[in-house]
Structure 1
């Protein structure tokens, strides 16, 4: 899916947060959004997925204007969103969390559960455990796996490694890299681990006070530039 954001402005009530932001993600590419706390990163993602309305500008999926569509209709067009905070239905088992989504898609959904578990094999031993008893990292893996069951073309991730133990951070980082390389999935990533985010990205963007202040090519050698920009 090609994501095109053009002159997008949004906020909460009468308070503007994101102003005049524009960028494009080509199919199979990963774009990382960086910025200090309060820069508007999560607000931008919420507008793209439809949780917040776009006050101005446009959002297009593969050439189709979607900025007035409700979130579930954007999901049907190939969007999946994993918000910040290891989202899961705590009273349900890990397997039931996955089945809630898979049953909507029938046999195809059940096949996608198997594919998602191949990406996070540690979850296979935890399927019978209530999600509320999983660690933060395990719940985050479960949330990403559940999103993948929808067979998205664009995966939007908000701080997927926040507050997670280092060993699981590595597993999530490897899974994201696999998704973009092997599955040609477009990924929009907000992440505080600058080194990982920039190394994995094809392009990184920096938000400052709700405006796009810098963009640059990603890759293993780009972290120094990203840190320099963030220090300004």
Structure 2
């Protein structure tokens, strides 16, 4: 599905990623873990086309999309949910969703499916997004991305800073989506247990380099926690 190979990327004259290679399987989940400042968000921004790499390649279904702009990548089935529970604060939750749904021929059905995944959004549909809790805004952001029916969903710290009950709901939804098939996920996540439960493959970033990787088997959590303890 997605292959990032030997990517060097950064901001201004400073490199943040140093030859990073990550692969996301078809209909599967790959997770990226690491401490703050390791380059995880930079990796997602490079994958979705918001940041151009200085070198290396980004492949989607075997096609080189390294120089393709972000909107063209979205048109090919990418959806990106950045860190920070982003929404249009002056619009209601439902208006946020309809901004995406109204531009699609299957928008009504896609909107209904998103609400089925996050039923709590039905109860707050008429509330302004700016008045919602962080967990509610995060559910809203993921639901909005899913309305586009992506083939590849990129999630940046979807459970960061939100209450445990909503964390459990988001985790359940991501696991359900990955189990259905038809969707690949590149997940940046701090909750090691959940990240490895969801992922077929994990990568640990440290100072912009992959220092550990492997499959999400029963021995993975011990290896990841050991890598992150350094």
Map 1:205-220 to 2 at 5 A. Answer: 205-219=203-217
Cα distance in 1 for partners of 2:62, 2:104 equals 25
Aligned twin of 2:29: 30
Aligned twin of 2:221: 223
Aligned twin of 2:4: 5
Aligned twin of 1:142: 140
Aligned twin of 1:189: 187
Normalising by structure 2, what TM-score? 0.97
Residue 90 of structure 2 corresponds to residue 65 of structure 1:
no
Aligned twin of 1:81: 80
Higher helix share: 1
Q: CA RMSD in A?
A: 1.0
Instruction: Verify the 8 A CA contact 1:206 1:213 in the aligned structure 2.
Output: yes
Cα distance in 1 for partners of 2:82, 2:196 equals 20
Aligned twin of 1:202: 200
TM-superposed deviation, 1:184: 3.2
In structure 2, the gaps of 5 or more residues are: none
Map 1:146-157 to 2 at 5 A. Answer: 146-157=144-155
Aligned twin of 1:112: 110
State the aligned residue count.
Answer: 230
CA deviation vs aligned residue, 1:69-119 (integer Å, no higher than 9, x gap): 11111100000000000011010011110111111113x022111011111
Aligned twin of 1:96: 95
TM-superposed deviation, 1:22: 1.1
